[in-house]
């Protein structure tokens, strides 16, 4: 896990690369890579690569970056881990490649030299990287299938920039800070900034599952090598490989955990009282001895239903873990808040829980930890998998009547906002489609509330750019089961824009690499045919039974509580002359810091 940055002045009349700008971009990401730093600038001073390193695989200097091969024809800066790099290395050695390190980074370079852009089809892992090809005078970029690792880009027509963080891109001073309405509107809609937008115009997230080529003619259109909906659609036309979904789930989970344990440093795990993290700890304990498990406790939850420490301790004992429990109180939150805001790359209402559990893992001496993130999105663990189809069934016919939904909202919203959630006013306006119902399920503020928070002209422009309901409905139109539709939306929106992004900045704030075995291309492809079948869906309960020693029944059947934190009890913020409380109050406070 690292931080990368690059500047490419690709036009003949472009100004020479600013070394100080590139160095500033790199050093703003110090916590992403405290173990080393590197900088390379071409003799022409038109292309530069910069890197901060967190040493996980090949701890020697041979793993340092920027790394080059073939006399400098190929150079790379890379953030992430390639879990199948050892198998790829053996393939490449048979093809005649000679290696000078034991790192996955060098495997990427040789793989690109042999296969060009097709290399990404061979990769299993989380990755964002930039490879300079001297002979072709171009920069090749790629981002992993699900967007686990971030990569942000900016092109002003003369100079191309990329970095692992938005704040790193902006820190060099070479980018205009003009507002992007879609980013600001998107934050208040979802509680996070939806990709590909950021708060700044012309600063974009590189699309997940895409590659990008930049040469003397500028940046081309990103090319997709993976898309969740397309992959599920294709899987629906194939026959499942195993006789039972339970057999497929067990094999795929074991395989994913095995790959995610590859490291030259100890690997720990986050452990709550839930099925996802419990299953991962159980499976990991079968493959490595005395895994360290990290659990958070909160003073506000102590002794109550949301106190996860007793059941987590029971699981840790059952699977022979070295268990570390760290208690957090409001005073810890208040003390850490300035550092939290400094580490937060884009505004988000989530991530505080991950920040503190990552801090606890760092206190325990870990550089790598497994997270159960992704299980709910893949296996239907959220209430929305049941609620959204019911809502759509309820609202489908009224929503089809011209003007009915909007009229109901206009009449009911002034009353409902004082009685219950304002979302109920939009049931018939938005609930008739999967995209609209998903917006009702996941939104922070409803669209009609936004002009009370932001400039109305900015809201109109941002909403016009986003068009979230139309885009989501188009995204899942070819999928034929409700599970596949909702899973796609959760994986590509909530998980990507909130959970994965928050895991990145919150983990990197403590120089901790967070790995997600349940967000894995191998696991996804193994389960995709079952997700599309509809009649034999893999479940959280089935997952809990995959270890040799299954999770106990009282954990499996325990009502879902989520990995929560009492931030809503800790924060209040004011807006528009009234108190914004709870999650909305926290959103206002976060937004005011950006």
Greater confidence (37 vs 414) lies with 37
Question: Does residue 355 sit in the same domain as residue 390?
Answer: no
Final residue of a domain: which of 475, 503, 533? 475
pLDDT given at position 409 = 81
Question: Does residue 325 sit in the same domain as residue 277?
Answer: yes
Distances (CA, A) of 62 to 73, 89, 103, 105: 18, 16, 8, 10
Question: Does residue 450 sit in the same domain as residue 488?
Answer: no
Question: Does residue 133 sit in the same domain as residue 185?
Answer: yes
CA-atom Rg of the chain in angstroms:
24
pLDDT more than 70, % of the chain: 96
pLDDT exceeds 80 at position 576: no
What rounded mean pLDDT belongs to the chain?
A: 93
Residue 569 pLDDT level (bands cut at 50, 70, 90): confident
pLDDT given at position 571 = 72
CB 164 within 8 A of CB 29: yes
Q: Average pLDDT, stretch 236-265?
A: 89
Nearest to 279 by CA among 531, 493, 541: 541
pLDDT exceeds 60 at position 575: no
pLDDT given at position 582 = 79
Q: Average pLDDT, stretch 9-30?
A: 94
pLDDT given at position 119 = 98
CATH of the domain at 214: 3.60.20.10
78 within some domain:
yes
178 within some domain:
yes
Final residue of a domain: which of 171, 206, 225? 225
Q: What is the pLDDT of residues 300-333, one digit of tens each?
A: 888 888 888 999 999 999 999 999 999 999 999 9
Using CA of residue 396, residue 397, residue 400, residue 402, what is the dihedral sign?
negative
- Distance between CA atoms of 294 and 312, rounded to whole angstroms? 9
DSSP state of 15: P
CATH of the domain at 281: 3.40.50.620
61 within some domain:
yes
Question: Does residue 432 sit in the same domain as residue 552?
Answer: no
Greater confidence (539 vs 421) lies with 539
577 within some domain:
no
pLDDT given at position 416 = 72
Q: Out of 115-129, 217-231, 290-304, 330-344, which region has the weakest mean confidence (pLDDT)?
A: 290-304
Final residue of a domain: which of 421, 442, 475? 475
The CA-based angle 364-370-373, given to 5 degrees, is: 130
pLDDT given at position 433 = 94
Give the domain extent around 129: 2-225
Residue 140 CB-half CA count within 13 A: 22
Specify the pairing of strand 267-270 against strand 368-370.
parallel
Please state, as a whole number, how many other Cβ atoms lie within 10 Å of the Cβ of residue 524: 23
pLDDT given at position 303 = 82
DSSP state of 270: E
Query: Which range is most confident: 26-40, 389-403, 557-571?
Result: 26-40
Q: Which residues lie closer than 8 Å to 183 by C-beta, 6 or more apart?
A: 193, 194, 197, 198, 199, 200, 462
Q: Average pLDDT, stretch 538-555?
A: 93
581 within some domain:
no
pLDDT given at position 579 = 54
How many independent structural domains does the chain possess? 3
Query: Which range is most confident: 132-146, 227-241, 306-320?
Result: 132-146
Q: Residue 116: which region, alpha, beta or left (left: phi > 0; alpha: psi -120 to 50)?
A: left
Q: Out of 269-273, 481-485, 575-579, which region has the weakest mean confidence (pLDDT)?
A: 575-579
Q: What is the pLDDT of residues 167-186, one digit of tens each?
A: 999 999 999 999 999 999 99
Question: Does residue 220 sit in the same domain as residue 238?
Answer: no
Residue 385 pLDDT level (bands cut at 50, 70, 90): very high
572 within some domain:
no
591 within some domain:
no
Question: Does residue 345 sit in the same domain as residue 438?
Answer: no
184 within some domain:
yes
The CA-based angle 381-145-47, given to 5 degrees, is: 145
pLDDT exceeds 60 at position 585: yes
pLDDT more than 90, % of the chain: 80
Residue 573 pLDDT level (bands cut at 50, 70, 90): very low
Question: Does residue 216 sit in the same domain as residue 111?
Answer: yes
Residue 5 pLDDT level (bands cut at 50, 70, 90): very high
End-to-end CA distance of the chain: 26
pLDDT given at position 580 = 65
Question: Does residue 215 sit in the same domain as residue 264?
Answer: no
Question: Does residue 411 sit in the same domain as residue 263?
Answer: no
Q: Out of 332-346, 373-387, 488-502, 576-590, which region has the weakest mean confidence (pLDDT)?
A: 576-590
pLDDT given at position 574 = 44
Question: Does residue 460 sit in the same domain as residue 561?
Answer: no
Q: Average pLDDT, stretch 266-293?
A: 95
Question: Does residue 133 sit in the same domain as residue 20?
Answer: yes
């Amino acid at each position: 896990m690292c931080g990368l940055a690059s500047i490419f002045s690709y036009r003949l009349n472009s100004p020479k690369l600013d070394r100080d700008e590139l160095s500033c971009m790199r050093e703003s990401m110090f916590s992403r890579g405290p173990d080393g730093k590197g900088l390379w600038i071409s003799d022409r001073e038109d292309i530069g690569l910069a890197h901060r390193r967190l040493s996980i695989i090949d701890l020697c200097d041979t793993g340092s970056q920027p790394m080059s091969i073939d006399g400098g024809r190929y150079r790379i800066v890379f953030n992430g881990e390639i879990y199948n790099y050892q198998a790829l290395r053996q393939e490449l050695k048979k093809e005649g490649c000679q290696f000078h390190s034991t790192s996955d980074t060098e495997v990427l370079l040789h793989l690109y030299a042999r296969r060009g852009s097709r290399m990404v089809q061979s990769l299993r892992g989380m990755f964002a990287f930039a490879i300079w090809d001297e002979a072709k005078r171009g920069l090749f970029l790629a981002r992993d299938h699900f967007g686990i690792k971030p990569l942000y880009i900016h092109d002003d027509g003369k100079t191309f920039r990329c970095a692992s963080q938005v704040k790193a891109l902006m820190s060099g001073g070479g980018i205009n800070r003009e507002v992007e309405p879609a980013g600001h509107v998107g934050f208040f809609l979802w509680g996070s900034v939806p990709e590909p937008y950021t708060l700044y115009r012309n600063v974009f997230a590189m699309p997940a599952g895409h590659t990008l080529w930049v040469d003397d003619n500028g940046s081309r259109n990103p090319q997709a090598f993976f898309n969740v909906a397309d992959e599920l659609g294709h899987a629906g036309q194939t026959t499942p490989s195993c006789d039972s979904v339970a057999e497929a789930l067990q094999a795929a989970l074991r395989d994913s955990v095995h790959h995610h344990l590859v490291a030259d440093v100890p690997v720990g795990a986050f452990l709550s009282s839930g099925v996802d993290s419990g299953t991962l700890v159980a499976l990991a304990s079968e493959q490595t001895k005395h895994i360290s498990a990290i659990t958070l406790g909160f003073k506000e939850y102590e002794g109550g239903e949301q106190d996860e420490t007793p059941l987590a301790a029971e699981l840790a004992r059952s699977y022979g873990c070295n268990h570390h429990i760290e208690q957090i109180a409001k005073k810890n939150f208040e003390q850490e808040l300035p550092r939290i805001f400094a580490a937060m790359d884009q505004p988000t209402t989530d991530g505080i829980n991950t920040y503190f559990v990552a801090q606890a893992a760092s206190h325990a001496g870990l550089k790598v930890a497994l997270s159960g993130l992704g299980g709910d999105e893949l296996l239907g663990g959220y209430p929305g998998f049941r609620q959204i189809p019911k809502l759509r069934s309820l609202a489908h016919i009224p929503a089809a009547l011209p003007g009915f939904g909007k009229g109901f909202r206009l009449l009911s919203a002034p009353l409902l906002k004082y009685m219950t959630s304002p979302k109920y006013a939009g049931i018939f306006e938005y609930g008739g489609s999967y995209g609209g119902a998903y917006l009702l399920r996941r939104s922070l503020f409803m669209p009609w509330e936004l002009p009370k928070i932001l400039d109305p002209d900015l809201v109109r422009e941002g909403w016009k750019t986003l068009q979230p309901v139309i885009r989501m409905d188009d995204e899942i139109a070819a999928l034929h089961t409700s599970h596949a539709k909702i899973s796609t939306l959760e994986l590509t929106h909530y998980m990507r824009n909130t959970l994965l992004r928050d895991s990145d900045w919150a983990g990197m704030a403590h120089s901790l690499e967070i790995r997600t075995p349940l967000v894995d291309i191998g696991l996804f492809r193994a389960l995709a045919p079952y997700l599309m079948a509809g009649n034999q869906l893999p479940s959280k309960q089935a997952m809990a039974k995959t270890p040799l020693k299954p999770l106990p029944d009282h954990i499996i059947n325990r009502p879902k509580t989520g990995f929560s934190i009492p931030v809503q009890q800790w924060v209040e913020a004011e807006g528009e002359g009234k108190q914004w409380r709870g999650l909305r109050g926290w959103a206002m406070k976060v937004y005011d810091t950006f």
